[in-house]
C-alpha cells in the first residue's frame, strides 16, 4: 500500500456555491477585501450567480451570519477588519470572531475561511487590502477554492 498524499488543485469547481460574509465596520477596508475575493473567485471560474454576499454590522456578527448562510453554500469566506489603535476591546472582538468562525466550520463541516484583518493601524490594513501586501480577501478566496477541492478529493478516496 502506498502513502496517501493529497495536494488539492487551485482551479475552482464552477459548480461550487460560495458564501461571503463581510462586515460594514471599517468598510473602507472591507469593501476592498470583498472586491479582491470576488475578483479571484470569478477569475478562477466561479460564476457570479454562485456567489452569495451578506453584509453584517461588525466582525462580531460574522460567525452567526456564517452559520445562517452555511446551509445554502459549500463554503464561506468571512471578511472583516479590526484595528487595534481604534478599538479598546480589540482582544475581545478578535477572540470572538476567530473562535466563532472556527466553531461554525467544525459544526457545519464546511470550510469557513478567516479573512479578517487584525492590525495595529489603518495603514497596515490598507497595505493588506490591495496596497503593499496584497489583498487578504483574494488570499482567503484562494484558500477556500483549495479547501473545497481538498474536501472533494478526500470524499473520493
Give residue number: closest CB to ligand INI: 58
Q: Cβ of residue 14: shortest distance to ligand INI, in angstroms? A: 32
Sole binder of ligand INI in the list 28, 64, 86, 133 (CB under 6 A): 86
Choice between 84 and 152, CB closer to ligand INI: 84
Residues 88-127 that bind ligand INI (CB under 6 A): 93
Q: In terms of Cα–Cα distance, which of 58, 74, 71, 50 is closest to 21?
A: 58
N residues, the chain: 157
Site map (CB under 6 A) of ligand INI, residues 44-83, x = contact: -------------xxxxx------------------xxxx
Among positions 12, 22, 26, 112, the unique one binding ligand INI when judged by CB under 6 A: 26
- Among the listed residues 81, 55, 63, 66, the one whose alpha carbon sits nearest the alpha carbon of residue 19: 66
Catalytically active residues, by annotation: 89
Piece in contact with ligand INI (CB under 6 A), picked from 2-10, 20-28, 71-79, 123-131:
20-28
Q: Is 85 in the site for ligand INI (CB under 6 A)?
A: no
Q: Which residues in this chain contact ligand INI in the complex, by CB under 6 A?
A: 23, 25-26, 57-61, 80-83, 86-87, 93
Amino acid at each position: 500500500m502506498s502513502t496517501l498524499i493529497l495536494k488539492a488543485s487551485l482551479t475552482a469547481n464552477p459548480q461550487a456555491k460560495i458564501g461571503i460574509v463581510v462586515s460594514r465596520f471599517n468598510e473602507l477596508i472591507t469593501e476592498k477585501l470583498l472586491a479582491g475575493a470576488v475578483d479571484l473567485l470569478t477569475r478562477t471560474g466561479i460564476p457570479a450567480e454562485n456567489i452569495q454576499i451578506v453584509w453584517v454590522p461588525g466582525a462580531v456578527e460574522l460567525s452567526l451570519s456564517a452559520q445562517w448562510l452555511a446551509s445554502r453554500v459549500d463554503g464561506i469566506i468571512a471578511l472583516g477588519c479590526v484595528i487595534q489603535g481604534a478599538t479598546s476591546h480589540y482582544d475581545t472582538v478578535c477572540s470572538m470572531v476567530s473562535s466563532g468562525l472556527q466553531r461554525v466550520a467544525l459544526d457545519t463541516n464546511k470550510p469557513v475561511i478567516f479573512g479578517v484583518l487584525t492590525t495595529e493601524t489603518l495603514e497596515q490594513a490598507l497595505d493588506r487590502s490591495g496596497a503593499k501586501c496584497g489583498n487578504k480577501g483574494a488570499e482567503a478566496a484562494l484558500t477556500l477554492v483549495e479547501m473545497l477541492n481538498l474536501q472533494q478529493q478526500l470524499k473520493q478516496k
